Every structure is written in structure tokens, then in C-alpha cells.
């Protein structure tokens, strides 16, 4: 009997667990260990954050799903991973208690999502800082409450300053922040309050519409259209100002301190700010059989799990080598350990990095959320099944071979809402195969705006919750 443990229950971990259970016989054990007993559909938190969706519509209990599938569920927080042969196990604590938990494993999937590094920017965050977040459900609810309180001030005739974007020079998830800003715009328009708010997009992107993926280019009859042109047109139409190539370095009440590419520093005042923090790997202890620290074999300095990518390349070399990106998501030192979603260490950024004259790196990190997380979760699961049944892995899919679609909500109404549909293939540009200056297939890549996208976003919310509840036919719904 093989014991497979999945750490984490987000898009990557939950997907991996479902595929593992569906492909392995009952003689094998699949266990999910997570400190959260709810599955969360993160893409809809942009609606929670403006009061347009009830929080409970974005979550469901995991245990009933796992009971039905035959997956063991352990509601606990992992603290230590002991990966050496002979005694491979995880130590943790049961949620809400200090009661110790030990899980032995033959195969391990680390899919724990990010540690939200609010501390990386002094004054950032909703708990000990002065900004808001939509990176967890409690944070999205706090953002909603703060935003609706601001709306009441606007109803009294007050003019306000709203800033949305990235709160750290090395942050990612610009797409989620963009959606949130656009939903604020649409909500204020419907309330008749748009003239009362100055909206600012503040981002570490090297170019508008970069989104941490080096932008998107599509082919139209009139020629090529870039995401920079696409997003600029949206912002101009909606009266949204933007400031890119900027890293937030400190926050005080009502003030954001920043540096830009040129090394200039400045202060931006705000009444409400929602800024995405830097993501780090979870701070587990990795302990060898002799009690030594073996973390260097498993994770990089940021805590992300090292897998089968090529690390240490400079950006110019990496951008020309699509094969440097991992294919199996298997750790080379411990081949029974895999990582999926945010947890795996990318070999570098996708977007062009920048270090200003003051030595500050302002570089959008590579996104690994949503559809990408689900796909990698499936690949990891199938490779573990391969190892158990065949003794080798046979499934490979690099981010330089992977398609990704993003539907960015710009108002949730099915009658006058809007959404930007963005599709790219591959996620990481492959300049060897697509020698057109973009590294992507211009026939597949797409940028479209309209009401149809709002309907698609609504349908996806319900379709994916159906899938993640493992309802009949879940396997035919793509990640």
C-alpha cells in the first residue's frame, strides 16, 4: 500500500487529491492535510470585496467531499517535514489546538499556497497595517466593510482617493488587483458616485497590462494589439489613472511610500488602498534523519519548493530557454516529493526584471495561481500514480507549453456587466517555437472585452464549484 499525503487544499492540492483518489485503487491511501477545513473559490473574492457576493457562496466544507471520495482528511497545520528515506513523515498541530499530528508518507505533494508576506512591506496589510487585501476570505470581508464605509462617506459629498495594485516590489497576482479595481469602478458608476473617487492603479509591472507574464499580444485584421494598448484603452475609458514600474516600500496611515525604476521616491496619499503583498513559501522546517536542516535540498530562499527546473540562469538566458521551466514538478533530491501551484519554485520571472539605481529590485513575480495551479495539480497527481503503478513518471507539462485563460470581471451584472477575456499560449513565452517577437501563438492569444465575458465569469463560478465538489462529470471540466 502506498501512502500519499497532499499538503494544502486549494486549486492545486484539491485537484491533486481528487485525481489521485480517482486513479488509485482502494489499497492505496490518499490523505489531505490542511489548516483550512473549507475549499475557497478565490476568483470570486473580487465580488465579495465590493459587497456583490455573499462570502458563503465562495466556500464549502471539504470533509463531506473527501468522505464521499474516500480521501482521508486531517484538519491540521504542518510544521515539520522529515524527508529522508526510512522515516518520511510530517509533524503538525491539529487546527485550533496544540495537539501533535504525525503523518507518514511514501509520496508527498506540497501545495500549500503562499505565505502572505505583509511584513515584507512595513505598514502593509489589514491586520497590523493600514491597507486592505482580498487574498483570504476574512481579508475580502474586511475590504468589503472598509469599502462600503467609504461609500457612505462619498454619499455625504466627500471626495476620496482609492489606490489598488501591488504592495511590494516583488509581488504577483496583478490580475486579481485589476479585477478588484474595475469592480470598484463599476460599482461606483451604478451608485452614481464615480465622480467622487479618484482611482489609481499602482503596480510593479514593467508595462501596463504586463500582469507578470510579459504581456499578451493578439492578432487582429488591423494588425497586432498588445495588452498594454488594451488595458490603457480600458483605463482611459473608465477615468482610471495608472502608475507602473513602482515598488511600494512602506505604508503609513493614508500614505504609500514608493520607489520607481528611475530610483525616484515619492508618497501617494489614499483613503482606501487594496494592495497585494509579496508571496513566499510556507515556513516549514525540513529536518534530516540526523536532525540536520535539509531545507537547501528542498526549497529556495523564499521557501518555494525546488523541482525539475533549471535554476540560477540570468534572465536573458532563461527567456531564451523554455525547457528551463519544470515539467514534472518533482524534487530532484527527494523524487517522492512534488510541488504544485504557488508552492513550486519558478526558475525566474516571466516579465523583464529591473533593479533601480538604489539597488531595489522591482520585478513582477511569475504567477502560478488559478488555472495554472489546477493543471499542475493534475500533472503531479498523474505522475505519482505513474510512480506507484509503473515506477516512472510519464506526464510532462511546462508553463512554456501550457495555455491559460483569464476572465477579468469588470462588473458582475449579467445585464450591463463586463469582463476582459485574456488567453495566452503558452504562459511562458517560447521564442524557439514562436519566432514572431512575442514567443506565443498569435492564433490562440486573445484579448476581448464585453458582456459575454461577464456571463462566462458567472458560469465559471458555478461550473468550477461543481467540479471542486467532485460532482458527477467533474473530470470532463478542464482545469
In the DSSP assignment, the letter for residue 355 is B
**What is the full DSSP assignment across 110-150?**
E----EEEGGGSTT-STTTSS-B--SSHHHHHHHHHHHHHH
Q: Largest Cα–Cα distance in the chain?
A: 69
- The residue among 5, 8, 3, 4 whose CA lies nearest residue 373 is 8
Q: What is the DSSP string of 13-57?
A: HHHHHHHHHHHS-TTSEEEEEES-SEEE-GGGHHHHTTTSS-GGG
Cβ count near 95 (within 10 Å): 15
d(Cα 278, Cα 439) in Å, to the nearest integer? 27
* Distance of alpha carbon 257 from alpha carbon 309, whole angstroms: 36
**pLDDT at position 220:** 84
283's CB contacts (< 8 A; 6+ apart) are: 115, 303
Tens of pLDDT, residue by residue over 220-245, are 877 899 999 999 999 999 999 999 99
What is the structure's pLDDT at 414? 84
Q: Torsion angle, CA of 2/389/26/112, rounded to 10 degrees?
A: 60
Residue 129: closest CA among 118, 137, 140: 118
Separation between Cα atoms, residue 375 and residue 361, nearest integer Å: 30
Cβ within 8 Å of residue 184, ≥6 positions away? 50, 147, 162, 164, 197, 199
Q: What is the pLDDT along the chain (479 residues), one digit of tens a residue?
A: 999 999 999 999 999 999 999 999 999 999 999 999 999 999 999 999 999 999 999 999 999 999 999 999 999 999 999 999 988 999 999 998 889 999 999 999 999 999 999 999 999 999 999 999 999 999 999 999 999 999 999 999 999 999 999 999 999 999 999 999 999 999 999 999 999 999 999 999 999 999 999 999 998 877 899 999 999 999 999 999 999 999 999 999 999 999 999 999 999 999 999 999 999 999 999 999 999 999 999 999 999 999 999 999 999 999 999 999 999 999 999 999 999 999 999 999 999 999 999 999 999 999 999 899 999 999 999 999 999 999 999 999 999 999 998 888 888 788 887 888 999 999 999 999 999 999 999 999 999 988 888 899 999 999 999 999 999 999 999 99
Give the closest residue to 389 by CA, choosing from 16, 25, 8.
25
Closest CA to 167 of 196, 204, 115, 210: 204
* Rounded distance between C-alpha atoms, residue 136 and residue 10, angstroms: 12
* Residues 62, 468 contacting (CB under 8 angstroms): no
C-alpha cell at 177: 488587483
Domains, the chain, with CATH or none: 3-116+279-390 (3.50.50.100)
Task: Pull the grid cell for residue 195.
Answer: 465622480
Angle at 186 between CA 181 and CA 187, to 5 degrees: 95
Start-to-end CA distance of the chain, whole Å, equals 29
Distance CA 406, CA 396 (A): 23
Q: Which residue has the cell 449579467?
A: 414
Phi then psi dihedrals of residue 8, to 5 deg: 110, 150
Q: What is the phi-psi region of residue 329: left when phi exceeds 0, alpha when psi lies from -120 to 50, beta otherwise?
A: left
With CA atoms as reference, report the closest residue to 168 among 280, 263, 306: 280
Query: Nearest-CA neighbor of 350 among 231, 175, 177, 179?
Result: 175
Q: Are 322 and 313 in contact (CB under 8 A)?
A: no
pLDDT on residue 87: 87
pLDDT at position 411 is 80
**What is the rounded distance in angstroms from the CA atom of residue 151 to the CA atom of residue 162?**
11
User: For strand 89-94 and strand 72-82, is the pairing parallel, antiparallel, or unpaired?
Assistant: antiparallel
What are the residue ranges of helices labelled H in 275-314? 295-298
Q: Which residues pair with 40 in a beta bridge?
A: 59
Place of cell 535554476: 311
Closest by Cα among 368, 386, 390 to 377? 368
The length of the chain in residues reads 479
The whole-angstrom separation of Cα 361 and Cα 107 is: 37
Query: What's the whole-model pTM score?
Result: 0.96
> Looking at residue 264, what is its pLDDT?
98
What is the full DSSP assignment across 362-416? --PPPP--THHHHHHHHHHHHHHHHHHHHSS------TTS--EEEEEES---TTT
Name 226's Cβ contacts closer than 8 Å, sequence gap at least 6: 209, 215, 216, 217
Amino acid at each position: 500500500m502506498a501512502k500519499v499525503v497532499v499538503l494544502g487544499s486549494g486549486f492545486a492540492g484539491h485537484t491533486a487529491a481528487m485525481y489521485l483518489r480517482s486513479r488509485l485503487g482502494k489499497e492505496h491511501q490518499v490523505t489531505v492535510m490542511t489548516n483550512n477545513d473549507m475549499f475557497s473559490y478565490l476568483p470570486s473574492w473580487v465580488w465579495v470585496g465590493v459587497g456583490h457576493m455573499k462570502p458563503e457562496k465562495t466556500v464549502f466544507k471539504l470533509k463531506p467531499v473527501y468522505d464521499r471520495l474516500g480521501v482521508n482528511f486531517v484538519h491540521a497545520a504542518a510544521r515539520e517535514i522529515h524527508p529522508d528515506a526510512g522515516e518520511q513523515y510530517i509533524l503538525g498541530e491539529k487546527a485550533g489546538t496544540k495537539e501533535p499530528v504525525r503523518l507518514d508518507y511514501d509520496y508527498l505533494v506540497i501545495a500549500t499556497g503562499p505565505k502572505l508576506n505583509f511584513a515584507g512591506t512595513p505598514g502593509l496589510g489589514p491586520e497590523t497595517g493600514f491597507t486592505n487585501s482580498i487574498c483570504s476570505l476574512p481579508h475580502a470581508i474586511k475590504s468589503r466593510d472598509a469599502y462600503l464605509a467609504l461609500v457612505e462617506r462619498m454619499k455625504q459629498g466627500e471626495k476620496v482617493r482609492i489606490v489598488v495594485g501591488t504592495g511590494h516590489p516583488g509581488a504577483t497576482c496583478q490580475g486579481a488587483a485589476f479585477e478588484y479595481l474595475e469592480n470598484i469602478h463599476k460599482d461606483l458608476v451604478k451608485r452614481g458616485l464615480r465622480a467622487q473617487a479618484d482611482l489609481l492603479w499602482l503596480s510593479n509591472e514593467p508595462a501596463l497590462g504586463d500582469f507578470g507574464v510579459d504581456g499578451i499580444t493578439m492578432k487582429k485584421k488591423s494588425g497586432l494589439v498588445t495588452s498594454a494598448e488594451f488595458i490603457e484603452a480600458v483605463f482611459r475609458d473608465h477615468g482610471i489613472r495608472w502608475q507602473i514600474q513602482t515598488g511600494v516600500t512602506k505604508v503609513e496611515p493614508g500614505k504609500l511610500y514608493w520607489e520607481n525604476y528611475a530610483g525616484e521616491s515619492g508618497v501617494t496619499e489614499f483613503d482606501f488602498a487594496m494592495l497585494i503583498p509579496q508571496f513566499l513559501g510556507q515556513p516549514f522546517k525540513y529536518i534530516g534523519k540526523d536532525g540536520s536542516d535539509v531545507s537547501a535540498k528542498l526549497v529556495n530562499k523564499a521557501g518555494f519548493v525546488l523541482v525539475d527546473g533549471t535554476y540560477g540562469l540570468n534572465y536573458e538566458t532563461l527567456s531564451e530557454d523554455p525547457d528551463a521551466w519544470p515539467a514534472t514538478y518533482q524534487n530532484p533530491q527527494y523524487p517522492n516529493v512534488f510541488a504544485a501551484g504557488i508552492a513550486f519554485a519558478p526558475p525566474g520571472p516571466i516579465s523583464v526584471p529591473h533593479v533601480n539605481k538604489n539597488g531595489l529590485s522591482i520585478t513582477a513575480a511569475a504567477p502560478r495561481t488559478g488555472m495554472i495551479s489546477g493543471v499542475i495539480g493534475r500533472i503531479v497527481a498523474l505522475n505519482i500514480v505513474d510512480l506507484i503503478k509503473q515506477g516512472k513518471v510519464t506526464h510532462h507539462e511546462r508553463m512554456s507549453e501550457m495555455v491559460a485563460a483569464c476572465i477579468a470581471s469588470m462588473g458582475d451584472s449579467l445585464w450591463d456587466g463586463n469582463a476582459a477575456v485574456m488567453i495566452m499560449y503558452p504562459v511562458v513565452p517560447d521564442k524557439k517555437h514562436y519566432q514572431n517577437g512575442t514567443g506565443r501563438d498569435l492564433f490562440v492569444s486573445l484579448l476581448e472585452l464585453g458582456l459575454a465575458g461577464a456571463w462566462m465569469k458567472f458560469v465559471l463560478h458555478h461550473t468550477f464549484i461543481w467540479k471542486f465538489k467532485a460532482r458527477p462529470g467533474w473530470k470532463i471540466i478542464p482545469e
